[in-house]
Amino acid sequence: MRYIIRVKGHLDPFWQEWFEHLSITHESGGITRLSGPIPDRAALYGILLKMCDLGLTLLSLEAHEAAEAPE
């Protein structure tokens, strides 16, 4: 499953490894988008707990089915 998580503020790219190597992108309006595959719910909850530990404000969480490779 691929996820897009948006948080308030611009998160330093230094944190990318700590967040399971999710891509960190700064958006306008002081928003950071973290995106990429997360293998299961346990990993997702772990990432959300890390965000909580950093005091980040969660703005949105989107889940998308991974695109299947054409045969």
- Domain range list for the chain: 2-59
Q: Please, what sign has the CA dihedral across residues 31, 45, 54, 35?
A: negative
Residue 69 confidence (pLDDT): 44
What are 13's two structure tokens?
């790219």
Torsion of CA 48, 22, 10, 53, to 10 degrees: 30
Higher local confidence (pLDDT), 21 or 52: 52
Specify the pTM.
0.86
Q: What is the mean pLDDT of the chain?
A: 91
- Residue 24, pLDDT > 80, answer yes
Amino acid at 53: D
Q: Are 47 and 21 in contact (CB under 8 A)?
A: no
